[in-house]
Amino acid sequence: MKGGNKMDFVQDGSFSMTAREREDWIAMNGASSPAADDQHALWLCFDGDTTTAWKGSLGSGDAFVELPVPFGVEEGILTVQTLDSEQPAQCTVFADGKKIEDFTLEPKAGRQMVRLNDSVKGAKRVRLVFDTAQDHGTVVSIAELALK
């Protein structure tokens, strides 16, 4: 974890986590499509470590991460940190169950910021559906994810 503190987490289909070091207020009672394997659980894209990642499989449908935002989305700025491989390409955003937009991530590793459509503001639940991978593979990796 960020700051040198290591903590072990156990994840099943959903989990809870609080993180004071984050600038956003995401309540991790969220969900995701199944991780690609046991070593790449959802909490890894919120652990402050850019070398670890959640890996979602595109093989059995789209890979998604769903974020509860108890105080509502304030600014609509999404930050996605990707690795050198298995980078997502297309993403569809749903806010409170309604599709609000599609966007394309750049084919590069690192941090990318996306200003979402204003209709995301105030949403209490945001689902990010990663439709394709840059390498046209069957797995996408997200090292870090934040939504302000």
Q: Give domain status of residue 2, yes or no.
A: no
Domain count, the chain: 1
* Residue 109, pLDDT above cutoff 70: yes
135 found inside a domain? yes
What is the pLDDT at residue 28?
57
Q: What is the mean pLDDT of the chain?
A: 82
Answer whether residue 113 shows pLDDT above 80.
Answer: yes
- pLDDT tens-place string over residues 31-74: 888 777 777 788 888 888 899 999 998 876 679 999 888 888 99
Does 73 reside within a domain?
Answer: yes
Q: Model-level pTM?
A: 0.81
Is residue 5 in some structural domain?
Answer: no
pLDDT of residue 16: 45
Q: Is 6 part of a structural domain of the chain?
A: no
Give the domain extent around 16.
12-147
Which two three-digit tokens encode residue 119?
């209709």
Answer yes or no: is 137 within a domain.
Answer: yes
Domain holding 89: CATH number? 2.60.120.260
